[in-house]
Chains A and B, each alone.
Chain A
Amino acid sequence: MAECCTTDNGEKKNLNYYVPFALIPLAVVIYIFLERGVDFFVYEILKQDKSAHLTEAIRFFLYDTPKVLILLTVIVFVVGIIRSYFSPEKTRKALEGKPLFAGNVMAASLGVFTPFCSCSAIPLFIGFVESGIPLGVTFSFLVAAPMINEVALVLLFGLFGWKTALLYASTGLIIAIFSGWVIGKLKVERFVEEWVYEIKAGDFQMEEQKITFSDRIQAGYAAVVDIVSKVWIYIVAGIAVGAAVHGYVPENFMASFMGKGAWWSVPLAVLIGVPLYSNAAGIIPILQALLEKGAALGTALAFMMAVIGLSLPEMIILKKVMKLPLIIIFISVVATGIMIVGFLFNWIY
């Protein structure tokens, strides 16, 4: 994702760190009773007609918005704490000297947890290459880091359930592992700009600061402030569009061009998705509405992976260190992987 780096807010240092842990059970309680509460509010207090399109749209919006925002806040907080245990430097150390396939598996898994933003893609890429990590392994990291992120997982979990979220995470990992492995086999070293190999990186001189647990909670807070303040507007807008589609677009409207029968919809979804750039927050609520109206799951997942996993801004950044053929190879290998996943799910379900 393009959201850059965590901000550290020093003023919160005096907060009681147990507060968030008290708030989590509260969030769970609200989460559990939300649907009944919204139903009661819409049908009993507002006295809306159960069968009207507008009622359905309002109910959808009132239910999904708080649900997703609560989930997002809790998960981002927890992931922020988990992330404080990881850093690109540690990840690089872990990957040094690993053989190709095992390295790919590790790089993809670490890519999920290591804090990463596309603005740091270049120093990270050079840092990996410089310490002798194979290109294929580096690419596994570069694919997994943006594609599998907490915002995407939260939204998939909240709107589609844990099975879809798990499916997304596992197929995303598999794509990252195999794309990296394939790129590694293609011997693409000559497509990296020569000057990258000439760089002699200095030793990292920063002393490992002692990080206390309250610092980690601090990091969780910072992540919530940083991420939620950036994505909430996309989520609300996305759910609003989703609500409108939910209430007004006829059933099976999408089936003809995003349904199972249309095999070409998967490559088309990927083709449209690659240059599009959006964070997961904006795209998923819309996907939910599309799925409901008959779009096939594989097509929808492929579209989403293409949108958040491969992005034009990141490619432009990477162009500084990679020659065009490598960028094209990168995009085609990952896009092929995404299409295979799309076809597979359309075929299974």
Chain B
Amino acid sequence: MKIAILGMGCATCDKLEDTVRLAVKEAGIDAQIDHVKDIKQIMAYGVMTTPALVIDGKVVAAGKLPSLADIKNMIGGK
């Protein structure tokens, strides 16, 4: 599974990365986590609000910090 966090270094974006790492660890899933900070790449996903969360190329959340439980659902449901 490929997970990308889109964010240009705001505090909430870093928090999202931490939460995602924790969720992956707790769910025991093998995933590659990237924190995309380049604006051109971020825009390629078509989001206008950061942080955004992308799982396997699909934007699943934008402009908010999903809870740990929500993220586990998102990665667990794949």
Residue numbers of A with Cβ under 8 A of B are 4-11, 87-89, 92, 115, 119-120, 122-124, 126-127, 130, 195, 199-206, 320
Contact = CB atoms under 8 A, between A and B. Distances in A.
A11 B47 CA distance: 27
A7 B66 CA distance: 7
B1 interface: no
B39 to A, nearest CB: 6
Given A5-B12, A5-B51, A199-B43, A204 B65 contact: no
B52 to A, nearest CB: 8
A199 B12 contact: no
Interface of B (DSSP majority class): mixed
A203 B46 CA distance: 5
A123 B64 contact: no
Interface residues of B, number: 31
A201 B58 contact: no
A320 B67 contact: no
Interface in B37-78: 39-40, 42-51, 57-70
B33 interface: no
Nearest to A124: B48
Given A4-B10, A7-B65, A8-B65, A123 B49 contact: yes
A316 B20 CA distance: 29
Contact of B8 (A9, A119, A202): A119
A130 B43 CA distance: 10
B11 to A, nearest CB: 6
Given A8-B65, A88-B63, A130-B43, A206 B48 contact: no
B49 A124 contact: yes
